[in-house]
Amino acid sequence: MEYINSVILESPKSLSELYKAVKRNPDSVLFAGGTYIMSRPGYFPKKNLHGYISLSEIPELHRVLHSDKYLELGSMVTIQGLLNASASSLSKPIYKAIGSIAPSVLRNLITIGGALCSMNCRTNLCCILCAINASAEVRFITRNNKTNLNNIKTKARWIPVAKLYDSDGRYLYSDNAVLTRVRIPSDPTISFIYNNVGSLTTRSESAVTLAFQYNMNQNSIINPSFCLSFLNNGIFNLQDFEGFLRSVKFPLSNSLLQKIAGELLKLLRTECTNITDLQRERAIRLMIDALETANREYYNL
Amino acid sequence: MKLTCIIDEKKYDLNVSSDKPLSRILNEVIPTFSINNACKGASCGNCMIILDDDYTLACLIPAFRLKSDKIHKIQTYETFSKTVLAHDIERAYAEVGSKPCYQCYASKTLLISSLILRAEKAVEVESYISSRKGKAKNNLLDRSFTSNELIISGCECMELTHIEKIIKLVCEYRSKRNGIHK
């Protein structure tokens, strides 16, 4: 009977137990919120031979730390948990953008770690975290002492969220590494624009999301940081374009907007080869829309 | 694995595979679950339940999530349909002249009930803030929020404006009755 043949399931109670479990069974799947794993067609009764490691009972991964400069959250904090913790530390548009990622039924289940690490399913959280310069702590489990499970060494590295992925949007640290914490800079005064076209659930192949964070100083933008997400086709934090945006002077005329659009198109053609023509066109429109919003803000200053 | 939980006010001791989705367990334990919910699997949005007072999709909860010292309470549409809130929603369906299709009736009614409870909370917070500021406001949920919440139900059998009217009507019935009934 299928009921009795349970899969291998480990539920470590601390990070050290988790490292041991990963070392013991490196092919096992880390189970965070489970929204991605459980929603795959044929998840059950097909057996995962390598088993699962459930992360829900590790208190370190549920911690929330408030500081003057940043908000630090364990990777098992849910998106709703992030919203509850960040009401006062994030600017209103960022808070609203995070709230629109998924309906509350899913926000209660999707974890930050799961949203950043799942291999084939990206939520818009990655895009928002990239744009607001969040970083993630990845703990690498060293490969020596394979037999001695009592002496496991780990090396922690803080990596900007944008650098967690390759140019095709694939998560880079899936082997022998665990994402444990995420640090989000808190600045309630910063300007933030978030816009998306297409649906994550129904038409992910043509969906585009843009997140753009900036500070307006007199007639120029300082510290622009923007991210374009094409869900499963890639995530792009084009630094060359951010440099170009720094040189732009406000107010923006139509010809200048066209020039910026042309520049972005050039970059998308060379760097984002995985995306479709529709996604490229949508990305440019979203960028122009965001700059027009910034332009209006300039006039209101 | 052995699992003890309360489903629709009845205590069950189950022996299930640890990775088995809760929707499958409910299908076997409650005969009406599959009839009411018409769940097609893979997050179709039709297996909405109330797990320890939180609205969730049963297909996304593996059995091992329910294994803890605490006994979890699961409420399906079967027991929810007997509540005053469910009757209020049905009354509003009739008044607006729009109701969910047979396939998503149970899940959408549960989803609408979650939005109603949220709207009531929002009004409570809003009226508290406005009473301190000396202004009177009675805003329900905004449209973008409601449409974002409804994404979970893949079925588009009802218009957003109708759902908004239903939420508003039920909130009115409940406020007239001057108390919150669950």
ipTM of the complex: 0.85
Please say if the pLDDT value at position B26 is more than 70: yes
Residue B100: domain span: 84-177
Among candidate residues A189, A204, A221, the one where a domain is terminated: A189
Is B99 in the same domain as B65?
A: no
Q: Which CATH number fits the domain that encloses residue B46?
A: 3.10.20.30
Mean pLDDT of B21-28: 89
Is A115 in the same domain as A134?
A: yes
Residue A218: domain span: 191-299
Is A236 in the same domain as A147?
A: no
Q: Looking at chain A, which residue has its C-alpha nearest residue B50?
A: A105
Is B76 in the same domain as B160?
A: no
B 47-66 near A (Cβ less than 8 A): 48, 54-57, 59-62, 64-65
B 108-137 near A (Cβ less than 8 A): 111, 114, 118
> What pLDDT does A200 receive?
65
CB A187 within 8 A of CB A206: no
| Two tokens, residue A34 | 């489970």
Q: Which CATH number fits the domain that encloses residue A214?
A: 3.30.390.50
Please give the residue that has the higher pLDDT: either A277 or B32: A277
Is B93 in the same domain as B74?
A: no
Q: Do A44 and B20 touch (CB under 8 A)?
A: yes
pLDDT in tens, A74-86: 999 999 999 999 8
Using CB atoms, which residue from B42, B60, B151 is nearest to A41?
A: B42
CB B86 within 8 A of CB B174: no
H or E segment to which residue B57 belongs? strand B54-57
Is A155 in the same domain as A169?
A: yes
Q: Is B161 helix (H, G, I), strand (E, B) or coil?
A: helix
**Tokens 């700059």 sit at which residue?**
A291
Tell me how crowded residue B40 is: count the other CB atoms within 10 A of its CB: 13
> What pLDDT does A143 receive?
59
* B182 falls within a domain: no
Using CB atoms, which residue from B17, B56, B118 is nearest to A2?
A: B17
**Crossing angle of helices B143-150 and B160-176, rounded to 10°:** 110
Chain-centroid distance, C-alpha A70: 17
Among candidate residues A168, A189, A210, the one where a domain is terminated: A189
Is A45 in the same domain as A140?
A: yes
Is A25 in the same domain as A160?
A: yes
Is A171 in the same domain as A100?
A: yes
Among candidate residues B80, B98, B121, the one where a domain is terminated: B80
Mean pLDDT of B165-170: 92
Residues of chain B positioned with their CB less than 8 A from the CB of A3: 15-17, 20
* Residue-by-residue pLDDT tens, chain A, 301 positions: 344 456 788 889 999 899 888 888 888 889 999 888 888 777 777 777 788 899 999 999 999 999 888 999 999 999 999 999 988 888 888 988 998 888 889 899 999 999 998 866 667 888 899 999 999 999 998 755 556 666 778 889 999 998 888 877 788 888 888 999 999 998 777 889 999 887 766 666 788 889 999 888 888 888 888 888 887 777 887 777 888 888 888 888 889 899 889 988 988 888 888 788 888 999 999 999 999 988 888 887 6
Q: Which CATH number fits the domain that encloses residue A88?
A: 3.30.465.10
Structural domain tally of chain B? 2
Among candidate residues A189, A213, A229, the one where a domain is terminated: A189
> What pLDDT does B129 receive?
61
A106 touches B at CB < 8 Å: yes
Structural domain tally of chain A? 2
When mean pLDDT is compared over A45-54, A200-209, B103-112, B142-151, the highest value belongs to: B103-112
